[in-house]
Chains A and B, each alone.
Chain A
Amino acid sequence: MAEKKQKKFTNPFGTVVESLYDLFDKKAPRYLLMTIMTAFLIYLPLSSSRFTQEIMTNLFFYVVVCLGLNIIVGFAGLLHLGYAAFFAVGAYTTGILSSVYGVNFWLTLPFSIIAAVIAGLAIGAPTLRLRGDYLAIVTLGFGEIIRLTVRNLDITGGAMGLIGIQRPVLFGIVLNQITHFYYLFFILAVIAIIVSYRLHDSRLGRAWEYIREDEDAASAMGINVVQIRLYAFIIGSAFGALAGSLYAAKMTAISPESFMFIHSVMILLAVVLGGMGKIPGVILGAIIVTLIPELSRDIGQFRLIIFAVLLLILMLYRPQGIWPERQGISTKL
């Protein structure tokens, strides 16, 4: 496996990019960049159209779910093809509690996380002993099961979906403008980034890294592999569920079609494209996956083809992702 070296990225442009990455891996430039970005993003809604804000809100949503999936795929190395199901769980928990039982939006969040943890355990506990491909198939099935269940239950509104989800109220203001949601999702994205960094540097993050690199060696060194993987599943699900809850509140209506397989694929694409396990890489992936289709709307019908070609080229020349976790020796993939 390791013998089959991948093509090395050695054009001069590549080295410039690498040194840029190295620069931002240092603490001071990273904090500086983050401060500038934060200031810019806080200011942005004051001077931009609703359309821009809508796209940016969508981007923040994607950043959160990508970082959530990154915990499972990037940190723990578990291929997950049904991630949309986790934000479906969050969205529907909030949706049902809010529209059927009239529960305050903020109070639905803990339930949303609990539901996601239960879903994470239900899918994780029996399957995490499986390796690679098998796990991917089970998660794929799980994603479809959730979608079809939601489609056929009365309480979830069947194929029609749920409508009339209450708007959240914060400090007496009803959040119903796009600008409100822009800031709400922005805050959630910032929290997701901070939590991701803390996890990455934690003891748990280390354990994930060891297991991802070599499961047997990690287990021979005293790491409880199944338990540590289960944590990845649970934490990743919680990220997805929270994002799903906010999504439900923003849309006020959700239907099973909002959680199709294609969404799981797009999120996974962003994670792999950006660089599995690397937080700025994943954010970059989320930006590419959400912004390129929007920005190239003018091209019309061809945009998806162009997008696809772009992805293929990237994967050919940069299989480890745009901004990978480690740039040393070639990876086993």
Chain B
Amino acid sequence: MSETILALKDLETRYGQIYALRGINFEVKKGEIVTLLGANGAGKSTTLKTISSLVPASAGSVNFFNEDITHLDPYAIVERGLIHVPEGRMIFKELTVLENLELGSFTLRDNVERKKRIDRVCELFPVLKERHKQMGGFLSGGEQQMLAIGRALMTEPKILMLDEPSMGLAPIIVQNIMDIIKQINSEGTTILLVEQNAKVALKLADRGYVLETGEIVMEGDADVLSKDESIVKAYLGE
């Protein structure tokens, strides 16, 4: 078994008086693809936001490489190699593709290394190379998603957290993006994937957790989960 690099312990998050997360425990091991499944409002996105400190945790802890990162500022978490690709992509629509990518390496001061990383991202996403001078807003939904992932990869993260990369995309594009995620993973980046599209996510992932109203109700290997009857019923629409 490889080592656990990210561990959540009794993590709670509140928006005012409303609990979004009620004590979540899970771990991610090095080199895995782990997926978080759940319906709308189950707390999937909140989990990612709490890990990356965009939303403060009200109780519990997040450990990354045995360091407590629960109360660090977002930028400090990025510096440690944990990157979050937010839902809805959040690329900079009025900056060019290249400028968007350069932002990803903001913490880096070495221009040669930056060039190398841009080349690597362009290799993964040839379409970004073609359109590097265009503004982000002119890209299609799928291309914007690729740009968001590419931008995150510019930091050379240890863990890449993706929030619904399939949202609003055509099935063929979704498959394309999932293939790329697989490839990124095979090159050594651990992946934490939040998805509503359980079928696609479970096919890709090694393990999965199912969230319901802020609690983990089920966990296990992806192939076990994809055969589980209640999941099939709730998320696979059969």
Interface residue ranges, A against B (CB under 8 Å)? 2, 206-207, 209-210, 213-214, 216-225, 326, 328-329, 331
- The answer to whether B103 and A221 have CB atoms under 8 Å apart is yes
Closest 8 pairs between A and B when the two form their complex, measured CB to CB: A222-B78, A217-B90, A224-B75, A219-B74, A222-B107, A213-B92, A222-B75, A329-B137
A210 to B93, CA, bound (A): 11
Which single residue of chain A is at the shortest CB-CB distance from B94? A326
A94 to B103, CA, bound (A): 41
Q: Give which listed residue, B92, B106, B135, B137, contacts A223 with CB less than 8 A.
A: B106
- The answer to whether A207 and B94 have CB atoms under 8 Å apart is no
- The answer to whether A222 and B79 have CB atoms under 8 Å apart is yes
| Chain B residues with CB below 8 A from A206, complex form | 102-103, 106
Which single residue of chain B is at the shortest CB-CB distance from A218? B103
Contact residues, B83-120 vs A (CB, 8 A): 83-84, 86, 90-95, 102-104, 106-107
Q: Does B19 contact A (CB under 8 A)?
A: no
| Chain A residues with CB below 8 A from B65, complex form | none
**Contact pattern, B 118-144, Cβ under 8 Å of A = 1, otherwise 0:** 000000000000000001011000000
- The answer to whether B155 and A221 have CB atoms under 8 Å apart is yes
Q: Does B207 contact A (CB under 8 A)?
A: no
Q: Does B73 contact A (CB under 8 A)?
A: yes
A282 to B94, CA, bound (A): 20
| Chain A residues with CB below 8 A from B103, complex form | 206, 210, 218, 221
| Chain A residues with CB below 8 A from B83, complex form | 220-221
- The answer to whether B94 and A213 have CB atoms under 8 Å apart is yes
Q: Give which listed residue, B79, B90, B137, B152, contacts A216 with CB less than 8 A.
A: B90
| Chain B residues with CB below 8 A from A326, complex form | 94
Contact residues, B13-39 vs A (CB, 8 A): none
Q: Give which listed residue, B84, B91, B94, B151, contacts A328 with CB less than 8 A.
A: B94
Q: Does B52 contact A (CB under 8 A)?
A: yes
Q: Give which listed residue, B91, B95, B155, contacts A222 with CB less than 8 A.
A: B155
| Chain B residues with CB below 8 A from A214, complex form | 90, 92
B134: min CB distance to chain A, Å: 9
Contact residues, B169-212 vs A (CB, 8 A): none
List 9 A-B pairs, Cβ < 8 Å: A2-B93, A2-B137, A206-B106, A213-B93, A216-B90, A220-B52, A222-B79, A222-B107, A223-B75
